[in-house]
Amino acid sequence: MVVRSFHFQLENVKQELLEMGGQVEAVLNEMMSGFTSSNTALMENIIKNDYKINQAELTLHDKVTLLISKQQPVATDLRKLIVVLKISSDLERVADLAVDMAKQSSRLKNHSLIPFKDRLVTMFTLAQEMIRKSLESFEQSDIMLAQKIASMDDKVDTMYGDLIRDLFKSNPDQIEVDQVTQLAFIGRYIERIADYATNIAEWVVYEVNGKHFDLN
């Protein structure tokens, strides 16, 4: 009975983590809508509601800590709980990066450097897919899917490097330095979101086989 109760609670925290992941994906979708439409109201909403993701992480941490202290799990069960802690922290940081993006995006002018904005949208779309796939790999304990995320991260890194190089090669007579700076920051935040998706995938590999594997 005690064992069944523990495994029920273990499955419950996993589901709560997936729900938190769904919240983070919703924030990223809102950020994409706000960025592509220059909708400052959406960006302000992202900033205002950031506390919800923070609270979800704290709640999960409290539940996992209590489970560890009361049940003293070992081996696979302990790994599962550790992974919930780690992934929830990564998701919270992804939400923070969305907030940072919202703050920088609100300073952009609607018709400034449109080609670079389009490239950021392409980058962001790929980073969103990485987050979605990393959560899917966690839900299904799918190592093969987790490992595929590394190649996607390489693409984001390349796109980010190309973006920065081209941004700062722009004709200074035809650009506004502050706008270039905002776009560079946004690109960096997207690149970091992709990194956190890769981190999540690495935790999936660790949960399944008990070994740390650097997908970066």
Domain assignment of residue 45, yes or no: yes
Tell me what pLDDT residue 83 has: 95
- pLDDT tens-digit profile of 109-145? 876 678 899 999 999 999 999 999 999 999 999 999 9
Domain assignment of residue 214, yes or no: no
Is 204 in contact with 143 (CB distance < 8 Å)? yes
Range in 48-57, 72-81, 165-174 the model is least confident about: 165-174
- pLDDT tens-digit profile of 59-69? 999 999 999 88
Domain assignment of residue 42, yes or no: yes
From CA 204, how far away is CA 188, in angstroms rounded?
A: 25
Q: What is the mean pLDDT of residues 11-17?
A: 94
Q: What is the mean pLDDT of residues 10-38?
A: 95
Range in 32-46, 95-109, 149-163, 169-183 the model is least confident about: 169-183
Domain assignment of residue 61, yes or no: yes
Q: What is the mean pLDDT of residues 23-31?
A: 97
Domain assignment of residue 129, yes or no: yes
Domain assignment of residue 215, yes or no: no
All residues at 6 or more sequence positions from 35 whose CB lies less than 8 Å from its CB, including other chains: 43, 101, 105, 117, 120, 121, 124, 186
Tell me what pLDDT residue 123 has: 97
Tell me what pLDDT residue 149 has: 93
Domain assignment of residue 36, yes or no: yes
All residues at 6 or more sequence positions from 23 whose CB lies less than 8 Å from its CB, including other chains: 52, 53, 56, 95
Count of structural domains, the chain:
1
Tell me what pLDDT residue 82 has: 93
Q: Got the DSSP string for 130-169?
A: HHHHHHHHHHHT-HHHHHHHHHHHHHHHHHHHHHHHHHTT
Domain assignment of residue 216, yes or no: no
CATH of the domain at 94: 1.20.58.220
Tell me what pLDDT residue 175 has: 62
The pTM assigned to this predicted structure is 0.93
Q: What is the mean pLDDT of the chain?
A: 90
71 lies in which domain range? 2-209
Kindly tell me if the per-residue pLDDT of 19 is higher than 80: yes
Kindly tell me if the per-residue pLDDT of 173 is higher than 70: no
